[in-house]
Amino acid sequence: MTVNQPPSLGRKPTPRTVGRNYQSIFVMLFVSIFLVGGMSARLVYLQLLEGNRNQQLADNNRIRLIPKQPVRGNIFDRKGRVLASSRLSHAVYIWPLARKKAEWPETLKLVSKILNIPEGEIEKRLEKAGYNSPSLLRIARGITPAQITAMEEYSNQLEGVEVDIEAVRDYPNGAMAAHVLGYTGELNDEELAKRKSEGYRMGDIVGQMGVEEAFESQLRGEWGGQQVEVDGAGHVLRVLGQKKAKSGKDVQLTLDLDVQKAAEKALGEQKGAIVALNPNTGAVLAMVSRPTFDPNIFSTRITAATWKQLQGKGNPFVNRSMRGFPPASTFKVVTATAGMESGKYSPSTILPTFAALQVGGTAFGEWNHAGFGSIGFVRALAMSSNTFFGQIGRGAGGPALIEWARKYGFGQKTGIELSEEAQGLVADAAWKQKVYKWDWTVGDTVNMSIGQGFTQATPLQVAVMFAVPANGGYRVKPHLLKDNEESKSWRQSLNIKPPTLKVIRQGLREVVAAGTGKALNVPELPPSAGKSGTAEAPPGKSHAWFGAYAPADKPEIVVLAFAEHSGGGGGSVAGPMVREVMEAYFKHNNPGLIPKPKSEAPTSKPKPAARN
């Protein structure tokens, strides 16, 4: 084996070994200069050319944005009672910047299991916000105490995930007035894209229907928040800036909670609607629709199963107060007006009635299958005679009926603040030709005159119709926002002749006193006036209608009840509903108008009268 010996210190250099001892020194100097130069160049690049960017990245790692959601404004009834407010609840947030992208999957898997939210759903929200976002991202609302406990137990595995307190919407009366109040919910992607220019952001809660949607701009408030510096563990070191959240404005409605409760109870589980309003101003005192829902369920996350279950209850989110149905004999108020205002029939007109009215080969039957003899407008309204009003409609003509139907507000939106309102339908010759390719016939006019055929009216529109004779001939604009404007700002005259109004009012009073509306002829109410209606609705049972106002001489309230596919007559089915609502109104608002019970007879025997 060869062993290399170190060169002798005393050996003389040769041409081949001159400078070899300094070679390593030169190499080391060269490498040092190269490294120092490279590092200096890199520092120059990082500090001068990339300084701003790197400073931003550093700030993102230590500066955190904590948004503060505003507390939504309260909703009150006309007497200041709470209909909607806010309560404190727990929500779960994630801080995207707290973890590297590759570290999030395991965390999200655990969060998904605890909160029972699909992992993909959370991941989608995180990707949309961006993994470098310094803002907190809410992924769950209204979590349960058990979920809060689980989050705390696994906190060491949930870096970047926090549980915090926020204000959520609360409806203390549950499902009461749900269709009027509406509900709140988080913006979806489509809604966010539309409203981003208005200052909305991902995760914002907005009104989704009803008053919550209609008055969103007042109720919303303004976001606030904090910009804070945190350490590596995410602990706040100091507050760098703060903007206080501005609470939303309160909204006071025209609804009367006592009347609303009575209307809810009167309708019960019957599919349909009840509307009560002030006939002089159009202020809505109550509005009920069945089936219904509890808006509190939207204060937490709605699962697909819950949504499917809700939809299976017969479209509970449809406000039937503002959906069109055949108005049946309630429409005879319009027919009477058209007949007298056309000049073809005087208020004192008397016509014979029959078991059926024959028109173009079609028999329009009287509901009692016999007729009522020769009668005038008052008796015809009281008994709801089909053959009488069929003759009036035929004589006045289709154009006159259509004109007055539209003057009363049919076929158009009433103007109430809610976006869910339908306009109904007042058909005419052009409409029929377009839809069916057929001409308008006399039979169409007669059918329309008794509230059948193509005509579709909403319970709210029918309530507005009853307000016209109640207030002396003005069509009111129903509204929900309570204010101090004079009633003339909410109504317009239809210029109905006084004799016409007088006859219609007499007829509606006679309906209750001696006709189809005897359900309201009770001592618990002041004298009232109204009209029943029973609409054919094949293939199901008939619809029942009843509209009324009271007191008959100086009305304060109009109530309209509609019972969908209930069967039976309007007076017997919907009439008692109207009575219950009116009883509650006068009990809580004007008990002095309720007739006092007669004093009981004396218990002692009366003395015999003296003989003459």
Q: Is the pLDDT of residue 339 over 90?
A: yes
Examine residue 214 and state whether it is found in any structural domain, yes or no: yes
Are residues 439 and 584 both part of a single domain?
A: yes
Are residues 177 and 270 both part of a single domain?
A: no
Examine residue 114 and state whether it is found in any structural domain, yes or no: yes
Rounded to an integer, the average pLDDT of 250-264 is 98
Boundary residue ending a domain (199, 234, 252): 252
Are residues 82 and 145 both part of a single domain?
A: yes
- The enclosing domain of 408 has a CATH number of 3.40.710.10
pLDDT band at 215 (very low <50, low <70, confident <90, very high): very high
Examine residue 24 and state whether it is found in any structural domain, yes or no: no
Q: Is the pLDDT of residue 96 over 50?
A: yes
Are residues 160 and 275 both part of a single domain?
A: no
3-state secondary structure of 227: strand
Mean of the per-residue pLDDT values for the chain? 87
Q: Is the pLDDT of residue 371 over 80?
A: yes
pLDDT band at 57 (very low <50, low <70, confident <90, very high): very low
Residues 114-152 pLDDT 10s: 999 999 989 988 988 888 877 788 888 888 999 999 999
Are residues 191 and 143 both part of a single domain?
A: yes
pLDDT band at 601 (very low <50, low <70, confident <90, very high): very low
Examine residue 264 and state whether it is found in any structural domain, yes or no: yes
Q: Is the pLDDT of residue 611 over 70?
A: no
pLDDT band at 489 (very low <50, low <70, confident <90, very high): confident
- Highest average pLDDT, of 61-70, 262-271, 597-606, comes from 262-271
Q: Is the pLDDT of residue 582 over 50?
A: yes
Spatial separation of the C-alpha atoms in residues 258 and 266, rounded to whole Å = 12
Q: Is the pLDDT of residue 248 over 70?
A: yes
Are residues 412 and 478 both part of a single domain?
A: yes
Are residues 510 and 540 both part of a single domain?
A: yes
- The enclosing domain of 223 has a CATH number of 3.90.1310.10
Rounded to an integer, the average pLDDT of 86-91 is 90
3-state secondary structure of 211: helix
Examine residue 27 and state whether it is found in any structural domain, yes or no: no
User: Into how many domains does the chain fold?
Assistant: 2
φ/ψ of 224, rounded to 5, equals -125, -165
| 556, 348 Cβ separation under 8 angstroms | no
Q: What is the pLDDT of residue 22?
A: 56
Q: Is the pLDDT of residue 504 over 90?
A: yes
Boundary residue ending a domain (226, 252, 278): 252
Spatial separation of the C-alpha atoms in residues 60 and 132, rounded to whole Å = 8
Q: Is the pLDDT of residue 378 over 80?
A: yes
Kindly state the percentage of the chain with pLDDT values over 70.
84
- Highest average pLDDT, of 226-240, 252-266, 309-323, comes from 252-266
Q: Is the pLDDT of residue 453 over 90?
A: yes
Q: Is the pLDDT of residue 229 over 80?
A: no
* Paired tokens of 41: 């160049």
Q: How many other β-carbons are positioned within 10 Å of the β-carbon of residue 234? A: 13
Nearest to 289 by CA among 181, 214, 412, 216: 181
The secondary structure of 549-563, three-state, reads EECCCCCCEEEEEEE
Are residues 139 and 153 both part of a single domain?
A: yes
pLDDT band at 263 (very low <50, low <70, confident <90, very high): very high
Spatial separation of the C-alpha atoms in residues 180 and 556, rounded to whole Å = 22
Q: What is the pLDDT of residue 306?
A: 77
Examine residue 356 and state whether it is found in any structural domain, yes or no: yes
Rounded to an integer, the average pLDDT of 398-404 is 98
The model carries a pTM of 0.82
Q: What is the pLDDT of residue 251?
A: 96
Are residues 218 and 231 both part of a single domain?
A: yes
Examine residue 606 and state whether it is found in any structural domain, yes or no: no
Annotate 90-116 with DSSP letters as a single string.
EEEEE-GGGS-GGGHHHHHHHHHHHHT
Rounded to an integer, the average pLDDT of 475-481 is 96
Are residues 123 and 264 both part of a single domain?
A: no
Boundary residue ending a domain (200, 222, 252): 252
Q: What is the pLDDT of residue 133?
A: 79
Rounded to an integer, the average pLDDT of 51-74 is 66
Q: What is the pLDDT of residue 364?
A: 95
The neighbouring-strand residues paired with 338 are none
Q: What is the pLDDT of residue 314?
A: 80
Are residues 479 and 570 both part of a single domain?
A: yes
Q: Is the pLDDT of residue 68 over 90?
A: no
* Paired tokens of 258: 């006592």
Are residues 167 and 261 both part of a single domain?
A: no
pLDDT band at 604 (very low <50, low <70, confident <90, very high): very low
Q: What is the pLDDT of residue 10?
A: 45
Q: What is the pLDDT of residue 200?
A: 84
- The parent domain of residue 70 ranges over 65-252
Examine residue 161 and state whether it is found in any structural domain, yes or no: yes
Where is average pLDDT lowest: 75-84, 263-272, 358-367?
Answer: 358-367
Q: What is the pLDDT of residue 165?
A: 85
The neighbouring-strand residues paired with 476 are 491
DSSP state letter for 441: -
Q: How many other β-carbons are positioned within 10 Å of the β-carbon of residue 10? A: 5
